[in-house]
Amino acid sequence: MRSATVRSPAKINLALAVGGVRPDGYHPVATIYQAVDLCDEVRATTQPSGDIDVTVTYDGRSPTETAKVPLGPENLAVRAATLLRERAGVSDGVSLAIRKVIPVSGGMAGGSADAAAALLACDLVWDLSTPKAWLVQLAGELGSDVPFALVGGTAMGTGRGDQVSPVLARGRYYWVLALAATGLSTPAVFAEYDRLNRDLVPPDPQIAPALMAALRAGDAAALGVALSNDLQDAAVSLRPELAHTLAVGEECGALGALVSGSGPTTAFLAGDEEHALDMSLALTRSGTCADVVQAVGPVGGAKPIGG
Ligand code: C5P
């Protein structure tokens, strides 16, 4: 039996611009992803029976709907293993053990991180040496955010978010993440976005030049001002209490505050580590969220960490 463990990061969308819904049900987006050091781990072990199965454990910091991670063929990591096996023409099975830290249905691409980790871990235990570009292509078939989890760092996402290219970014950014007790469904948030914007001519999704300039300069204060998320109003409409969490972060001097992706996690940019600690305490004391986690970005994409 062979085993490989891969660690894979959560993401924050520093900007998420959304266009009008396409005939296939997806929305064109222009987004800037940043990978942060809140990571899930997936251990793959070859399974002589030929089956693909999965177990999930939680480290206690993921208070969102943990019971909702499916353990059947619809699990994104299982789908990743199944897709790779099909395309590579192998018959081996694999047991996947997921250790979850990233909030479930939290808007931080936790399921996508697991899928990326499973692709890489299965590639190792099945000894396939699949070129990275092919893995990234398979990742795009699994979900819009999966390619970014393989690539990591700071990157632009276009198409439905799956066309990823690195962007020039300097600096190390300190984030405080306020986690909610229950998750939000991504399709539900996009549907609410459509409802709220039904009278608007769909815009062409664009990233503000000020955000790109802030990243190039490594200027956290300018980045904080430029953070933006077109899905924020939809997430707050479905979960009005997020407005209180955002207000607490803003009151304690966050350089920027926004809903992460489709939410309900909210992300606050701090000036330094000490500021992040102060904001964490204030958010915890406010009682407006279920848990608070600090994270640093950017970090690299999914990578093997052992057997
Ligand atoms: O690609 P992924 O499976 O993560 O997408 C989940 C759902 O989120 C889609 O079925 C769609 O409803 C919505 N979505 C979207 N536009 C995107 C990405 C996701 O409408 N660019």
Binned at pLDDT 50, 70 and 90, residue 200 comes out as confident
Q: Is the CB of 27 under 6 A from ligand 1?
A: yes
Say which range, 44-53, 194-203, 224-233, 285-294, has the weakest mean pLDDT.
194-203
Catalytic residues: 11, 145
Decide if pLDDT at 266 tops 70. yes
Q: How far apart are CA 100 and CA 110, in angstroms?
A: 8
pLDDT digit string, tens, across residues 22-73: 999 999 999 999 999 999 999 999 998 999 999 999 886 665 655 578 999 9
Decide if pLDDT at 263 tops 90. yes
Q: Which domains does the chain have, with CATH numbers?
A: 3-167 (3.30.230.10), 173-297 (3.30.70.890)
Among 13, 21, 190, 229, say which to mutate for ligand 1: greatest number of ligand atoms within 8 Å of CB: 190
Q: Is the CB of 25 under 6 A from ligand 1?
A: yes
- Identify the residue whose tokens are 């790109």: 212
Whole-number pLDDT of residue 66? 53
Report, as an integer, the average pLDDT of 70-84. Answer: 96
CA dihedral of residues 3, 5, 60, 266 (deg, nearest 10): -150
Q: Is the CB of 161 under 6 A from ligand 1?
A: yes
> How far does the centroid of ligand 1 lie from the alpha carbon of residue 185, in Å?
10
pLDDT digit string, tens, across residues 114-163: 999 999 999 999 999 999 999 999 999 999 999 999 999 999 999 999 99
Binned at pLDDT 50, 70 and 90, residue 201 comes out as confident
Q: Is the CB of 79 under 6 A from ligand 1?
A: no
180's tokens? 């909610």
> How far does the centroid of ligand 1 lie from the alpha carbon of residue 73, in Å?
19
Q: Is the CB of 26 under 6 A from ligand 1?
A: yes
> How far does the centroid of ligand 1 lie from the alpha carbon of residue 187, in Å?
6
Chain centroid offset of residue 169 CA: 18
Whole-number pLDDT of residue 59? 80
Which atom of ligand 1 is nearest to 145's Cα?
A: 4
Whole-number pLDDT of residue 291? 92
Q: Is the CB of 231 under 6 A from ligand 1?
A: no
